[in-house]
Amino acid sequence: MYESKKQNGITLIALIITIIILLILAGVTINVLIGENGLFNTAQKAGEEYTKSQLKEELEIEIANIQSKKIANGEEISREDLWELEKIGAIMISVGKPAEGEYKDYNFTVDENYVVTIGEKSNIIKPEIQLNKNTEEIVEEVTIKVKVTTEDGTIVSITKPDGTTTTETEFEYKVRENKTYRFVAIGSNGAKSVASIEITNVKEIVANPIIQSNYGYPMLKDTGIEIDGITTILYDTKEGLKNYYSVDDGIEWKLYTGPFKMAGSGRILAKSMRNGVILSESSKNIDIPSDALGIEAYDGDETTFGEKINSGSKKINVDSSMWNKKIRIYGYHASHFEDNRTYIYAYNVEDEMVRQIVGKWFF
C-alpha cells in the first residue's frame, strides 16, 4: 500500500515569475528616479533654474542700484557703467549690445534694455587673482601686490589697469589716485578671470581752481544793464572730480559746465570735490573798471546814483539795441565847476567823439 506525502513551499516556476515581476518593478522604479524625466533629474533641473533666477535677480538689482546713482547725479546709465558689476564678483567680457560676462560660474548677457539673461554653467578652471595693498595708512602712493595662479595649464597674460600686459605671475603695481583698479588674467586653457581692488587711502593732491575773467564796462541794453564780461575757471582734470562755483558767497553752488557771465560785480568761489569732500578751493573778486559808472546808477532810484564825481569821468558802453532810442540821464553840477555844467560825451567804436551834451537834465 502506498502512502502519499503533501508537498510544502513554492515551485521553481513560481519563483521565476516572482523574480521577473520584481525586476520589472525595479526597472520602473529606477526609471522614475533617475531616468531622463525622473525625479532626480527633475529636481536637479528645478534647482538649476532656481539658481539662475537668483543670479538674474542679483545682477538686475545691482544694475538698478547703478542706475539710481546715475539718476541722483542727473545722468543716465550707459553701457560703460556695466563694468561696475565686477564689484559684486561678475567677470565682464564686453559691455556692448548685448554685454557679456560670467557670474558665479554662469555665463550671462545684458541686452540694450538692461535685462539680464543667465546662460549655462561654465565648468572650466579659471585663474585665481590675489590682490593686496601694502598699507592702510593715508599716503601719497599705494602699492598693490598681485599674485596669479592656476590649476590648469599656465598663465598666458595679465592685463594691468593701465592697459599694459605681463606674463609675470607676481608683481607690484603702484598707484597715486583713489579709485577701483582692475586686473584681468587669461590661462592657457582660455579661461579668463577678473579681480578688482578699490583704493581709498591715497592722499589726493588736487590743484586749486584758477579763476579767470575779462570784465569791462557795463553794457546798456534795451533789456537793462548787463555786466560785460566772461568768467572761466580752470579746474584739475583728475577723473571723477566734481567742480562747482558760487557767485553769492557760497549760498548756492552750481556745477561748472563752462564759461559764464555774472549779473554784477562781486566774489566768485570755486571748489573741487570727490565723494562730498572738498579737495581744493579758491576765490576771486570780480570788479568792473574803476572808472565805470556804478551799478547803483541803473536801478531807477535817483537817490542811489552812486558816488559823486568830483573829477575825472565815468563810462558805460551802449549796445546797438539802444540806437535811436531815448534815455533819461540825471546829471548834477557843483559850484566849483568852472562853467557850472555837466558834460555828457558819446563815442563810437573807434573811440571818436560823435556827440557832446551840456546841461543839468537830459531827455
* Digit-coded pLDDT (tens) for 62-117: 999 999 988 888 889 999 999 888 888 888 878 888 988 888 888 899 999 999 99
- Using the predicted structure, report yes or no on whether residue 245 has a pLDDT greater than 80: yes
- Chain-wide mean pLDDT for the chain? 81
Q: What is the mean pLDDT of residues 225-251?
A: 88
- Only one residue has cell 579681480, namely 195
- Using the predicted structure, report yes or no on whether residue 230 has a pLDDT greater than 50: yes
Q: Kindly tell me the sign of the dihedral angle through the C-alpha atoms of 305, 307, 308, 310.
A: negative
- Range with the poorest average pLDDT among 187-201, 229-243, 295-309: 295-309
Q: What is the mean pLDDT of residues 326-350?
A: 61
Q: How many CB atoms lie within 10 A of CB 358?
A: 12
Contacts of 170 (CB under 8 A, 6+ apart): 146, 147, 148
Extract the C-alpha cell encoding 316: 558805460
Q: Check residue 219 and give its pLDDT.
A: 80
Q: Check residue 31 and give its pLDDT.
A: 64
The residue count of the chain comes to 363
Around 169, how many Cα atoms within 13 Å sit in the side-chain half-sphere? Answer: 11
SS3 155: strand
Q: What is the mean pLDDT of residues 302-316?
A: 62
178-187, 259-268, 298-307: range with highest mean pLDDT: 178-187
Q: Check residue 133 and give its pLDDT.
A: 95
Question: For 101-252, where are the alpha helices, taking DSSP H only?
Answer: none
Q: Check residue 28 and give its pLDDT.
A: 67
Q: 39-72 and 12-34 are packed helices; what angle lies between their axes, rounded to 10 degrees?
A: 10
- Only one residue has cell 548685448, namely 98
Q: What percent of the chain has pLDDT over 90?
A: 34
- Using the predicted structure, report yes or no on whether residue 130 has a pLDDT greater than 50: yes
Around 52, how many Cα atoms within 13 Å sit in the side-chain half-sphere? Answer: 16
Which is higher by pLDDT, 23 or 349? Answer: 23
- Using the predicted structure, report yes or no on whether residue 29 has a pLDDT greater than 50: yes
One-letter identity of residue 202: V
Q: Which residues pair with 231 in a beta bridge?
A: 213, 260
The DSSP element (H or E) to which 68 belongs, if any, is helix 39-72
Q: Check residue 87 and give its pLDDT.
A: 82
58 and 110 Cβ atoms separated by less than 8 Å = no
Query: Measured between alpha carbons, how far is 260 from 233 in angstroms, rounded to an integer?
Result: 9
Q: What is the mean pLDDT of residues 337-343?
A: 55
79 and 99 Cβ atoms separated by less than 8 Å = yes
Which is higher by pLDDT, 54 or 312? Answer: 54
Which is higher by pLDDT, 224 or 194? Answer: 194
363 and 344 Cβ atoms separated by less than 8 Å = no
Query: Measured between alpha carbons, how far is 362 from 344 in angstroms, rounded to an integer?
Result: 9
- Range with the poorest average pLDDT among 16-20, 147-151, 205-209, 307-311: 307-311
- Using the predicted structure, report yes or no on whether residue 181 has a pLDDT greater than 90: yes
97 and 112 Cβ atoms separated by less than 8 Å = yes
∠ CA 148-149-150 to the nearest 5 degrees? 135
Phi, psi of 200 (to 5 degrees): -130, 0
Which is higher by pLDDT, 30 or 124? Answer: 124
Query: Measured between alpha carbons, how far is 328 from 177 in angstroms, rounded to an integer?
Result: 60
Q: Check residue 122 and give its pLDDT.
A: 80
Contacts of 82 (CB under 8 A, 6+ apart): 63, 66, 92, 95, 99, 101, 110
